[in-house]
Amino acid sequence: MEKMSSPPSMAAPWKQLLLSALETNKHIKHSRFIQLATVTPNGKPANRTVVFRGFFQGTDLIQINTDWRSSKIEDLKNCPFAEICWYFADSWEQFRLSGRIDIIDAAYPDLSKLKDREKSWYASSLNSRLQYLAPHPGLPRTLEEPAEGIDLDPLKGPVEAFCLLEFDAEKVDYLNLKTNERSVYTSELIGDGLKQWVVQKVHP
């Protein structure tokens, strides 16, 4: 099988494929919904649907918003490895991304990442932000819970429950069912944190 390497200074070669798929399928609202799989503390798989919030500026890192009280946070603290599966119905393209997730919460030590968290908070709709003030996700409902809505100052910064996830892909498996082509992109660290991608075409 033929292999091709990309220079470490270049963007990941799969990123443009993904951006093109997003553009082609942008008229479909759910094209920004992705399946995120994690490993639970007891070693079992857990999967759920999350929303793609874009790439961190100037990088190949994927942004996902979540609630620090959710079960996925416990999963990721125990095991930072995760997988994303993304299928675009109109263009018949599938992306399977394997990598690590960094949790950027209110106590994160890097100020630049906290700025990213704040930007992602303000980029979210007011209804989306309100979810982080709701009762603890996954716990039973009680009759004592208030029936009225929750007030949120739209100018106020992110609440404590709001987390920004940073997904760093290490391997990307791309399948195009229209052209019957499949490529696997694998990353290699070559020093100083630089990442080089090796591309191999494989049988679908």
Q: Does 201 score more than 60 pLDDT?
A: yes
Query: Domain spans of the chain?
Result: 3-136+154-202
Instruction: Decide: pTM greater than 0.85.
Output: yes
Element (H, E) at 77: helix 71-78
Q: How confident is the model at residue 41 (pLDDT cuts 50, 70, 90)?
A: very high
The first and second tokens of residue 146, run together, are 């208030």
Q: Tell me the average pLDDT of the chain.
A: 92
At 131, is the secondary structure helix, strand, or coil?
helix
Instruction: Give me the residue label for tokens 């694998």.
Output: 186
The first and second tokens of residue 29, run together, are 């609202």
Residue 187 carries which side chain, given as an amino acid letter? S
Q: Report pLDDT digits (tens) over 58-99.
A: 999 999 999 999 999 999 999 999 999 999 999 999 999 999
pLDDT of residue 148: 58
* CA distances, 16 to each of 24, 87, 103, 116, 185 (Å): 12, 16, 25, 22, 13
Instruction: Of 62, 66, 34, 58, give the one whose Cα is nearest residue 48.
Output: 34
| Beta-bridge partners for 164 | 65, 104
Residue 108 carries which side chain, given as an amino acid letter? Y
Instruction: Give me the residue label for tokens 């082509």.
Output: 181
Q: Which CATH superfamily is domain 3-136+154-202 in?
A: Electron Transport, Fmn-binding Protein; Chain A (2.30.110.10)
pLDDT of residue 153: 86
pLDDT of residue 149: 62
Q: Report pLDDT digits (tens) over 121-165.
A: 999 999 999 999 988 998 888 766 655 567 788 889 999 999 999
pLDDT of residue 160: 96
Q: How confident is the model at residue 194 (pLDDT cuts 50, 70, 90)?
A: confident
Q: Does 52 score more than 70 pLDDT?
A: yes
